Each structure stands twice: as structure tokens, then as C-alpha cells.
Structure 1
Amino acid sequence: MARPSGARPGGRRKPAPRRPVDPPRAAAYDVLTAVRADGAYTNLVLPQVVRQYRLAGRDAAFATELASGTIRRQGTYDAVLAACVDRPLAKVEAKVLDALRLGAHQLLATRVPPHAAISTTVDLVRGKVGQGPAGFTNAVLRRVSERDLDAWLRRVAPAADADPTGFASVAYSHPAWVVEALAEALGDRAAELDDLLAADNAAPRVTLVARPGLASVAELVAAGGEHTRWSPYAVELAGGDPGAVDAVAAGRAGVQDEGSQLMAIGLADAPVEGDDRRWLDLCAGPGGKAALLAALAAERGAGLLASERQPHRATLVARTTASASAGLIGVVAADGTRPAWREGSFDRVLVDAPCSGLGALRRRPEARWRRTPADLDDLVPLQRALLDSALASARPGGVVAYATCSPVLAETAGVVAPVLARPDVTQVDAAAVLPEVTDAAGPLPGTLQLWPHRHGTDAMFLALLKRS
């Protein structure tokens, strides 16, 4: 008697052949794993993984959206998944949880049809983890697919009127302490909090900088860019690989958020008394601001010294600034709190201090899950020490720019206010130096605070100080 098709001797069926894992989803999954297990940064590991999978065009864009979107909305998805599993999420294998979050993102925040989101995630788990967890993944995602995002939020988020911070934390996928810190930073405009949190979850457009004397905005526009609102050197790309732009590939232009460009421009345009020949970037890594400053310095007959404490990052600064070498005094690996130069050596000093990064959550989505309030206990003293060092490095009549990519008050007003009480320090009105930037009053008079929801930039803070 003939055996049924697909049956083995003894009546056992052959297992169904495994379907190939979809490359964009596999790439996104690998990014999630690298961020979770290796401490990688999303914006750095993504291009590497995309190249590894040889993705281009729509596939590369899809992988980018899946990875970045999943990490941004992880808090929301974890709340939903917790309602769909029979155990604490901490008991779910980490590799499976990565896939569940990826599937939840497709179901709740994209136009991927539910059957495709579920089946491809099951295939992913089967191929990356094993057959055993595939059935569990299928069951959980089917439960997730029973409601849309709004319906899930009504079920899993605290009531907004009873616990506004708790609701915002789940609905906008920010830890509660971050929600509170951002609300405090908004001050009397705390009603904008929902807009700010939503902007943190929006994918940023790629912004290029045309380094003066090396590339022009017109050249970047001709390569597919669009003019921006604030920086005279900025162009936004509608899509595509920025590395394919000739000026970027040659180092004459670079990828740089418009807010970061404004920090460098603010220092370069602030008034100084007397000589204007020696500039310093005290915390130069990875080199974007240093490259723009060096290009500006070259046009004005000045030179920039770029200093970075970590030698490997100093090497990266040297590579980034190579095309602007005409305005570069050099790159040194030095601790900014223990200067390797004489006091009063520079006319202009930038201290772009290490910070929590909570103003750059659009581009560094993992920062919200890695940072804790305790980090400020280490960061704020370092920021104060670096600002003191920057002021000592500037000559009398010289100017210092203190910048952070965080709006948290402890890292902005909390660092600058004590310095303004010193008799040898006066303030330069940043709004007067950058008059084209509107609606950007900082937490202290004369300071500048950018916001993603108002300006489309990272939430950069700027204070301009002068040695008197």
C-alpha cells in the first residue's frame, strides 16, 4: 500500500520546508540584536548591516524603518506584548523578544498586512532562533493583531487624566523619568510635551552640511537635496544613500544635523575682541562640528585645534576633518579637563560636552532605554569641569560656546548659571548671534534651545560666554 505523499516510514510526516528569511527583516533583526546584546548604536550599526545584506532602495529604507521604529517604540510594544503572553517579559528569551517587538511594530505602526507581519516574523524566529519558539511567536502576534494601536493603548496605558506621566510614558515610549525631565525643560510651554514626545518618535530626514570653501549648497541641491530653514550650509535629502553624493564621498560635505551646524556657526559668528586666529574644539569626537569649524576658520584666516580624549575617536576626528585641513592646526588626543596647552591660548572655544543625549532621541533611539537619572550624577560634574577648562583656555576677550544635545535642565542651565556668577565671565546673547533662529529662547536669558517639534532639529542647547 502506498504511503501518503510527504509521509515517512512509520507514518511520520516530513517537516515542512523552511521558508527563507526575508532579507530586510533579517537585517532589522540583526540591528536589534546588536543594539541589545553588544551595546551598539542604531545609527552606526544600521549602515553596516544594510551593506552586509546588500540592501538598496526600498529594501534598505524598509530595514531602516523596521529597526529604528521598533527601538523607538519599544516601551509601547512591551506594554502590549506583556498583555499577550502568559509570563513576565523578562522570562521570554531575549532573541525571541527582539522578534516579537519587530512583529508588533509591523502590526501596529506600518501598512504591512497582518498575515505577512505574522508569517514573516515566525519565519524569522524559525530561521534565527529555532523551531520551538516559532509557535509561541505565532500565538503571541495573533493576539497582538486583534487590536489596533489606539485600542491597545486604551487597555494597557494608565488613564491620562489620573496619571499623565504614566500615560505619556506608554503612549510615546519614553521612560517616565525622561518624560518628567523633558516636561521640566519645556517650562511654561509644557503643553507642547505630546508634540515633543511624538517628534522624538519620528524618523529624521538626512541632513547634509556643505563645508564652506569645499562644497556649496547648490551642489548638494543638484544632487537631490532641498534647502532647509536655519543653517546656510544645510540641505535635506529626500532619500537615498548620502554616501552616494559625490561631495559626501569626497569629504567636502557630511551628514550633520542642522542643530549641530548651528552650534558651530554660533561660535564662529559670536563677536570677539582683538585677534581671531586660534580656535579650539575641546571635545571634538566624532568630528562633524570640528570639520565645519575648520572650514569656517580657513575662510577667515584662522586655524582650529581639535582635541579628543579617546585616541580612537581622535583618529576618527582626523579622518573627518581631512578635507578641511587648510583650517586645521591639528588633532590631539588629550583630556579636555587637563589641557595640553597654555591657559588663554585661544580666541574661540567650543565645548560640545558629553551629555545624556536626550535631545537626539530621533537619531539615537536606544539612548532612552540606556540612560538613567544616575547618569547625570557623573555627567554634570564632567560638563562643569569641561566648561571651566574651556573658559581657562580662552584668552580675555575670547568667546566660549557651551553646547549639549540635551535639553535637561541639570545639563544646561544647571551648568551655565554658576559660571555666569563669576566676575570674569560675561554672556553673549545667542539669539542676537543667530537671529534667523526663532522661537528658541533657552532656560536662561540669552541662551538658545532648539526643539525637534519646533525646529525639526535635535534639541541642542547653546550658551555663549566671554572671558572679560
Structure 2
Amino acid sequence: MPRSTPRRQPPRNSPQKAAKPQPTAPVRLIKDPARRAALDVLVAVRTDDAYANLVLPHVLAKYELSGRDAGFATELASGTLRQQGTYDAILAACLDRPLARVQAKVLDVLRLGAHQILSMRVPTFAAIDATVELAKQSTNASGLVNAVLRKVAARELDEWLAVLVIDDPLDRAAMVHSHPRWVVEALRQSLQGVGASSELDALLTADNLAPQVTLVARPGRSEVDELPGERTAYSPFGVVLESGSPSAVDAVREKRAGVQDEGSQLVALALADAPLVGRDELWLDICAGPGGKAALLEALADVRGAVLVANERQLHRAGLVAAHGVRRVVAGDGASAPFAAGTFDRLLVDAPCSGLGALRRRPEARWRKKPADIAELVPLQERLLTAALRLVRPGGVVLYATCSPVADETRGVVESVLTSTAAELVPIDLGVPDSAGPIPGTVQLWPHRHGTDAMFMALLQRPLTDRPLD
């Protein structure tokens, strides 16, 4: 037999030829990218503490989703997060093991399937088949997912809510409306503070409605009439976007207008229109990130010949304020801001808060927040409001605002600061019906009454007699 020719070896120290990379499937070829995108959002929220509304645009771009596919992925992810508590109760009834023993990634898939079956216009067989396929791609539990979702599909959502018997009224409200029990209790107490505890179910229901996109025309830079949509009920600057993306609106792209809840627009208006004696030249937003209120306040100040300064403690959030087009942005701790006492005429304290008034926009926040978070926030809120009163001149005004109706963060903070300082409470009149706050003269907006986030506002004035505020 002829000898085989030996394989030729490369010369010593000669460069080796790099292995040819294996091609990977383009994202657009991934099967069912909309459901994969929704799952990615749930995983990011669970593992990275991401906010769904912030991570969604990146995930939609990753999977090259637009139009109806983007809308499907958005509703699937956001709706699943909103209804998580309800779905968990139903899934627990369909499992042969405690919910805590189900792998987190499997539970993500089960929740997505439950939302399609119980709350979306997806045919049952399609919802189950597609979710089982998703489980095959991401877990080793497709059999479990198939079996459980078939049990889920045996009843409509209303039937499930009827058969899941819970005697305690607050526990039942928590399950039916998918809120942690402590949040239900806190919101009930907030409603009692304005004499309307009977509205609890309406408020919890409103929390689970996807909010409409609201645009704001920044005065002196754009006109409301150039924004597409129906005028807002209470803000003279707002419209509810009829359809499409805000980025398709010229004024939004050019930063002459922005996306802003009507309640937040009213916060800026409440400060700008507050009665003032004497000069009106220098305004401050002391907790300005991410910048929407600061941008509107700056536009209002410009029209009146005043100047707005935006202060934000965190550098990356200060960058977000600047990205709104705000010109004067300072990075500093609001509780010890780098400004001389008595500098400003008008000042906004949009305080860090629990955000329990904005659960429509951040559905996952209800599952993250704990009662201890509020206990930690209240001292900070009091320090910020007290510091703000030092920074305004005698006769200057400070608007304290939170996107939370919780008593500790609203009435409790304001009453504490009024007791410990010489500040005086000034009534706010925005002309918004049924908006009386827990302290006479304050304002409390509600999702179920006004279609806004549950914004609280209190206006405090430093007395004209320049007495110490401590």
C-alpha cells in the first residue's frame, strides 16, 4: 500500500489561521420574537431591577419589532406585570407544588401564558401552544407549562375570581386587583384621609389600566394646537396622543414639547401660578431628575422673564434633565444644595417617594416597594422641604409634590415641617373638581377621578418677617 502523505505542519512560530466563526441566526429570524421580547422584559425586571417602561424600547429595538408586534409585546409584558398577583393566585390553584418551588424563569413563562389566556384576545389553543414553545426555548419545563396552562384555561378570569374564596376584604382586594396587601391598606387610608374610602375598588382598578400617552406643549416654544390629540381636561398645555409614537411629533423631537402626565403638568402650573409678593426672577427645581417638570418650568420662567435652575443629586439623572433641553443644571444634594439661603423666589420639591400614585406607569413597582421604604423616605422628604424653605427669600414659595397619596409622605411630612418651621400653608386652587387634599388647601389628584397619576401638592411660603425657620 502506498504510504500516506504526512500532514504538513506549519512552520514553528508561524501565525495560526483563526477558526472561522459560526454564523448566528439574525434576531429577525427568531421564532415568535414578540413573546421572546416580553419574556426578556420580565427577566430584566426580575433579575436587574429594571423598570419595564425603560427597558421595553431597547428590547423592541433588539427584536426589530414595530407596529402591531410591538404593541403585542408591550401589552403582554406590561399586563403580565400588572396582573402578577392575580395570576399567581390562579397558578397556585393549578399547581401540584407551592408556587415558591417553581423556578423563577418557569414562573415568568407561566405568567405570560396566563395573561394571554385570561386577559388578551388570543385564542386559547394559540396561547397555550405558543407559550409551551417559549418554554421549550428558555426552560426545561414545557410539560409542566402545558399542563398548568390547560388548567388555567378551564375557567374565565371572572370564574377564577369567584372560586378563589378569600374572607378578609383587604386580602381579597389585593388578589382581585393584583396589589400587595400593604399597598391596598395604605391606599385605603389615603382615601379615608379625603373622606372617600368607598372608592378603593375604583382606585385599584384604575391602577391596572394602561395609561394614555399625554404630551405637553412648552409655552413660548410650541403651541398646543400643533400637537396631535385631544386637549387634556385640566392642563392648558396638554393633549392626549391619539395614536403613533411621540417621537414622530416634530415638536417632541425638537424638545419644544414632551411626554408628561397631566398631573405633573399641573404641579409645574401650581408653582408657577402661586401668588407672590415682590420679585419673581429666580426659580429652582431642587430634585429635578429626570427633567420633565423642570423643562416645563423653564419654559414658563422664560415667558415671564425669570430664570430656572435645575438641581439633581445623581449625575446620570442630571444628564437626563439636560437631555430635556434644560439649560442650567447643577449636580448637588438637595438637602444641602450649593446655594445661598434666601436666593430663590419659587422652588419645587418634587420629592423622592414611594411612587404608589404612579402604578399605572410602573406596574412592577408595586412588587418592589416595602413599608420600610416609606419609613426611610419620610425623613429625607422632611429634610428636603426644610432645606427648600431656607433657600427661598422671605415671601418666597415652595411647592412640595409627591407622586404618592400615602399619608406618611403627604400629610405627615407637611404637618411635621409646618410644626418645626415658621412656614405658612398657602391654599392651592387649580380649578380641578374633587381634588381636595388631606390638609385644607392642599391638592390630591387621583387616577380614578382625574385620569392622572395620584399627585399630591402643598404650597408653603416663607414668612415675610425673616424669622429663623428652625
Aligned residues: 433
State whether residues 357 and 455 of structure 2, in contact with CA within 8 Å, keep that contact through their aligned partners in structure 1. yes
Gaps of 5+ in 1: 1-18
Q: Helix, strand or coil: the match of 2:94?
A: coil
The equivalent of 1:381 in structure 2 is: 379
Question: CA shift at 1:442, angstroms?
Answer: 0.2
Does 1:155 find its partner at 2:150?
Answer: no
Question: CA shift at 1:20, angstroms?
Answer: 5.5
Q: Distance in 1 between matches of 2:321 and 2:300?
A: 16
Q: Distance in 2 between matches of 1:243 and 1:96?
A: 35
Does 1:439 find its partner at 2:434?
Answer: yes
Q: Distance in 1 between matches of 2:456 and 2:105?
A: 38
State whether residues 174 and 368 of structure 1, in contact with CA within 8 Å, keep that contact through their aligned partners in structure 2. yes
Alignment of 1:245-284 (within 5 A): 245-284=249-288
The code of the aligned residue for 1:399 comes to V
Alignment of 1:44-83 (within 5 A): 44-83=54-93
The equivalent of 1:183 in structure 2 is: 188
The equivalent of 1:463 in structure 2 is: 458
Q: Distance in 2 between matches of 1:420 and 1:157?
A: 46
The equivalent of 2:298 in structure 1 is: 294
CA offsets 1:13-42 (integer angstroms, 9 cap, x no match): xxxxxx963122111111111111110001
**Greater gyration radius:** 2
The code of the aligned residue for 1:143 comes to K
State whether residues 206 and 236 of structure 1, in contact with CA within 8 Å, keep that contact through their aligned partners in structure 2. yes
State whether residues 381 and 413 of structure 2, in contact with CA within 8 Å, keep that contact through their aligned partners in structure 1. yes
Q: Helix, strand or coil: the match of 1:374?
A: helix
State whether residues 294 and 321 of structure 1, in contact with CA within 8 Å, keep that contact through their aligned partners in structure 2. no
Q: Distance in 1 between matches of 2:443 and 2:285?
A: 19
Normalising by the residue count of structure 1, what TM-score does the alignment of the two structures yield?
0.91
Q: Distance in 2 between matches of 1:189 and 1:46?
A: 36
Identity %, equivalent residues: 63
The equivalent of 1:139 in structure 2 is: 147
Q: Distance in 2 between matches of 1:238 and 1:36?
A: 32
Question: CA shift at 1:156, angstroms?
Answer: 2.3
Question: CA shift at 1:157, angstroms?
Answer: 4.3
Q: Helix, strand or coil: the match of 2:397?
A: strand
Q: Distance in 2 between matches of 1:65 and 1:337?
A: 39
RMSD: 1.2
CA offsets 1:40-68 (integer angstroms, 9 cap, x no match): 00111111111222211211111111111
Gaps of 5+ in 2: 1-28, 464-470
Q: Distance in 2 between matches of 1:107 and 1:134?
A: 17
Q: Distance in 1 between matches of 2:62 and 2:219?
A: 34
State whether residues 425 and 441 of structure 2, in contact with CA within 8 Å, keep that contact through their aligned partners in structure 1. yes
Alignment of 1:184-263 (within 5 A): 184-187=189-192, 188-221=195-228, 225-263=229-267
Question: CA shift at 1:422, angstroms?
Answer: 5.0
Normalising by the residue count of structure 2, what TM-score does the alignment of the two structures yield?
0.90
Question: CA shift at 1:239, angstroms?
Answer: 2.4
The code of the aligned residue for 1:76 comes to T
CA offsets 1:100-127 (integer angstroms, 9 cap, x no match): 0010001111111100110111111112
CA offsets 1:280-324 (integer angstroms, 9 cap, x no match): 0000000000000000000000011100001111111111134xx
State whether residues 382 and 416 of structure 2, in contact with CA within 8 Å, keep that contact through their aligned partners in structure 1. no
Does 1:128 find its partner at 2:126?
Answer: no
The code of the aligned residue for 1:57 comes to G
The code of the aligned residue for 1:396 comes to P
State whether residues 309 and 335 of structure 1, in contact with CA within 8 Å, keep that contact through their aligned partners in structure 2. yes
Q: Helix, strand or coil: the match of 2:276?
A: coil
Does 1:171 find its partner at 2:176?
Answer: yes
Q: Distance in 2 between matches of 1:423 and 1:414?
A: 14
Q: Helix, strand or coil: the match of 2:34?
A: helix
CA offsets 1:382-441 (integer angstroms, 9 cap, x no match): 00000001111111111000000000000000000122235621111112xx12x11100
CA offsets 1:48-107 (integer angstroms, 9 cap, x no match): 111222211211111111111100000000000111111111211111111100100011
- Structure 1 range deviating more: 39-48 or 345-354: 39-48
- Say which of 431, 435, 445 aligns to 1:450: 445
Aligned pair in 2 of structure 1 residues 166, 423: CA closer, same or farther (>3 Å)? closer
